[in-house]
Amino acid sequence: MSHKLLVYHPEARIYGGILAKKLPFLEICNASEPEEAIDFVEQAEIILSWKIPDDLLKRAKRLKWFASLGAGNEHLIHNPYIPPSIPFTKVTIYGEMMAEYVFAYLLASIRNTGKYDEDQKRKRWDPQKPERLRGKVLGILGLGSIGREIAKKGKQFGMTVLGVKRNPEPVEDVDQVFSTREIRKMIPLIHYLINTLPLTPETHHLLGKEELGLMKEGTILFNVGRGKTIDEKALIQTLRQDKIKAVLDVFEEEPLSPESELWCFENVIITPHVSGINLPEEICEEFGKNYERWRRGEPLTGIVDREKGY
């Protein structure tokens, strides 16, 4: 039986093209603008999208599955046009590539790559010893698919891995799991703090002045989760003291305003929300496997828990 899939995304044709080859029995409408979807949406049983106008979504009266193209779905979680009775799934493949991002900057920092680049430009031979990741303490906020992949890589580098999780049960590759309430106990113990948290009412500004003030001298803070989980004003104040460093991929407002003081710090690296890359082949592979499960009536992977908010 053929099912009707609406792919709504600026790159819908790329996604739809891959899916048409993989799942030839699907009837697919690829749309980047509402006008392209308006006739099809009423028939659509599955929508694959991340940002879709309400005016379009509300017409999807036959919707049986909303498959998000993103990992964080705070903007969709309470959308009244995605009924609670139908599955809502998220992409869960970002862990490996986001771990690559984190370790790219961790390794560059520990092995002094910036210093050697500068030395080379000046023809300077200065064998000042770099450090090692082995033995360093990594603290991860959020132990979902992304946090767990970062933990796994941390263990491979011989690091001690600590983590914060809403329900602090044991997690593979994590030496000690703290509850969200115990976050202040963990922060002073670590060399690197990696924030992978989704945005929910509980995580909004979870890292504020006090938590940031607990970081020991030289700690590097990474934010690859959501900008609003860190109080940006408090972060700017902390960074002014030049005690910690930060690698920031997400911000309270994106794109980051040219007026933001964050651009001006020497102890900050800024990247434009690229730690998880939308790779259509990988995303379609995950969707395709889920579609087969859906067709067979089996439980789907990546179900969003709408109570928890992620």
Which residues of the chain form contacts with ligand OXD (CB under 6 A)? 70-72, 276
Catalytic residue selected from 254, 281, 292, 298: 254
Helix (H, G, I), strand (E, B) or coil at 160: strand
Query: CB-wise, 178 or 310, nearer to ligand OXD?
Result: 310
Query: CB-wise, 10 or 135, nearer to ligand OXD?
Result: 10
What's the min distance (Å) between Cβ of 223 and ligand OXD?
11
Which residue has the closest beta carbon to ligand OXD? 70
Query: CB-wise, 86 or 277, nearer to ligand OXD?
Result: 277
Tokens coding 27: 């009837």
Cα-trace Rg, the chain: 22
What's the min distance (Å) between Cβ of 160 and ligand OXD?
28
191 classed as catalytic: no
CA separation for the pair 182, 206 (Å, rounded): 12
226 classed as catalytic: yes
CA separation for the pair 42, 57 (Å, rounded): 9
Residue 303 carries which side chain, given as an amino acid letter? Answer: I
Query: CB-wise, 70 or 168, nearer to ligand OXD?
Result: 70
Instruction: For the chain, give the number of residues.
Output: 310
What's the min distance (Å) between Cβ of 67 and ligand OXD?
13
Catalytic residue selected from 27, 273, 285, 306: 273
Catalytic residue selected from 59, 148, 191, 226: 226
Tokens coding 297: 């009536």
| DSSP one-letter string for 94-117 | HHHHHHHHHHHHHHHHHTTHHHHH
Partner residues linked to 245 by β-bridges? 220
254 classed as catalytic: yes
What's the min distance (Å) between Cβ of 27 and ligand OXD?
26
CA separation for the pair 31, 50 (Å, rounded): 12
What residues are labeled active site? 226, 254, 273
